[in-house]
Structure 1
Amino acid sequence: MAADDETAGFASPACLAHEVDPGYMGLPQPGGLTLAAWRKAERERLIALRLAMPQAERQAASEAIAERLAARIGPFAGRTVSFYWPFRGEPDLRPLAERVWAEGGTALLPVVVAKAAPLLFRAWRSGEPLEKGVWNIPVPAEGDAREPDVVIAPVVGYDSACYRLGYGGGFFDRTLAAPGGRATAIGVGYGLQRIATIRPQPYDIPMSAVVTEAETLTPARVVG
C-alpha cells in the first residue's frame, strides 16, 4: 500500500514501514527493480514462515530470546532500552520491557514522526496511555523524547554478517546513522529467518548482534 500526503505528519512505530512505498520514505534503491523485487519476495516469504509458527512455539521462542537479550545487554539499572510493539508474529518482548523497569532501567518504544527522518523514542510501560499510529499500531500517547542506550530492532530476515532485512522503510538504519547516535543496535528474530545474505547496500547498517531463540550471532562469531 502506498502512503499519501495525508499520512505524512502522523506518528507510527517503525515496524509498520513495510506498508509504505520506499520512495515515500526518501530512500534510494541501489540495484534497481531486481534488488527491490528480491527483497519484497524475501519479506513475504519470511513473514509467512514466521506467521506459520504455532503460537506456543512463538511464545517459547520469545522467552528464550528475552533471556539471551538480558544476558547480552547486562544490568538494566540506569539504562534506557528501546523495544517495539510486536506485529505479525514478531517475538513478544513486552515482559522483558517490564523487567527493565523493575530492575531500575527505562523501556522505550519507537515512534515515526516524519518520513525520511530518524525515529523518536518515548518511555512507556504497561498501563500507561497509548494511541494508534497511522497504521493502527500503539505508540506512547505522550512523553518527551529519550535517547536509548540500546535499540532492539525486529528483523524480517538476517544474515551471518548481522545485516538486518527490515520492512523497507529504513527507519532503523536512518536512526543509527544519525549524527551523535550512540545506541547499540541488536536485531531479534527466529532462527528460521536467517538467510545467506540480505544483499546489503550502502545505507544498510549491521547490528552489533542478532539474537534468536537458539543463538546470539555477532559479525565475528556465534555464541551458543
Structure 2
Amino acid sequence: MHELDPAYQMPLSDWTDVRRWRKAERERLIGARLAVSADARAAMSQRIAEGLDTLVGDVSGRMVSLYWPFRGEPDLRGWMASINARGGRTALPVVIEKGHPLVFRAYVPGDRLEKGVWNIPIPAEGDPVLPDIVISPVVGIDPGNYRLGYGGGFYDRTLAAMPFRPLVIGVGYELQRIPTIYPQPHDIPMTTVVTEANAA
C-alpha cells in the first residue's frame, strides 16, 4: 500500500510497537519544530495567541493553565500576561512525582520560579488550583485531537483524575499534524486544537 499511497501507514496494534513508533515520531517532530527559525516560531506563536483569544473569549474570572515553553514549543508567555491583565487568572503545571497526575499552581508573571523536572521553571510555592481551561502543548496531533506528548502520560493522567472536565486546548504548529498517534485506551483527546492557522 505504501507504494500506492505514500501517506499509508501499516496499522500498529501491539503496545510495544506503538511505543517504539511514538518515540521515533516524537524525535522527528521535535527536530522539525526546532528547525523552524526563532523568528518564524515567534510569529506563529503570536497567531496561536490570537486564535486562543477568538476561541476562549472573555477570560475574566477564569483560571487558565498554560506552560513554560520548552524545545521550540509555542511561546505564549505574552498571552499569559494578557490574561491576568484582563481579569483572568493563570497557572502552570507542576510534576510532583513520576507516574502521578500533575498539579496546577497559580502563577502571575513576576512570581518566584524554581527549576522543576527537565529544568522547566515552575511556581516555587502555592496551593494547587483547578483550571477551567488547560492549554497543552503538543509534539504531534492527529485528526481525532489525540495528542502525542513527551511520553510521560502526565496530561492524560491529570485529566482523568480531575473532578470535572476542563476545556482542553492543544497548541502547536501545523507541521505537527500527523495521520494518527495510534490512540490507546488511556489516551484522552484534546477538546480542540489551535495552530498558527488558528482554531481547528
**TM-score, structure 2 as length reference:** 0.91
Residue 128 of structure 1, CA deviation: 1.0
Secondary structure in structure 2 of the residue aligned to 1:135:
helix
Cα displacement string for residues 81-117 of structure 1 (whole angstroms, at most 9, x for unaligned residues): 0000000000000011101100001010000112222
4+ long deviations beyond 3 Å: none
Conserved in 2, the CA contact under 8 Å of 1:82 and 1:150?
A: yes
Conserved in 2, the CA contact under 8 Å of 1:157 and 1:194?
A: yes
**TM-score, structure 1 as length reference:** 0.82
The correspondence of residues 1-224 of structure 1 with structure 2, limited to 5 A, is 31-217=14-200
Following the alignment from structure 1 to structure 2, what is the Cα–Cα distance between the partners of residues 132 and 31?
A: 36
User: Which ranges in structure 2 are unaligned for 5 or more consecutive residues?
Assistant: 1-12
Number of equivalenced pairs? 188
Following the alignment from structure 1 to structure 2, what is the Cα–Cα distance between the partners of residues 181 and 53?
A: 37
Conserved in 1, the CA contact under 8 Å of 2:95 and 2:117?
A: no
Following the alignment from structure 1 to structure 2, what is the Cα–Cα distance between the partners of residues 134 and 213?
A: 28
Match of 2:8 in 1: none
Q: For 2:130, give the aligned amino acid.
A: E
Following the alignment from structure 1 to structure 2, what is the Cα–Cα distance between the partners of residues 192 and 180?
A: 33
Superposition RMSD in Å: 1.1
Cα displacement string for residues 127-181 of structure 1 (whole angstroms, at most 9, x for unaligned residues): 1100011321110001111110000000000011111001101111111111513
User: Which ranges in structure 1 are unaligned for 5 or more consecutive residues?
Assistant: 1-29, 218-224
Q: For 2:106, give the aligned amino acid.
A: A
Q: Which moved more, 1:170-179 or 1:187-196?
A: 170-179
Residue 124 of structure 1, CA deviation: 1.0
Cα displacement string for residues 183-223 of structure 1 (whole angstroms, at most 9, x for unaligned residues): 11110000000001111000111111010001312xxxxxx
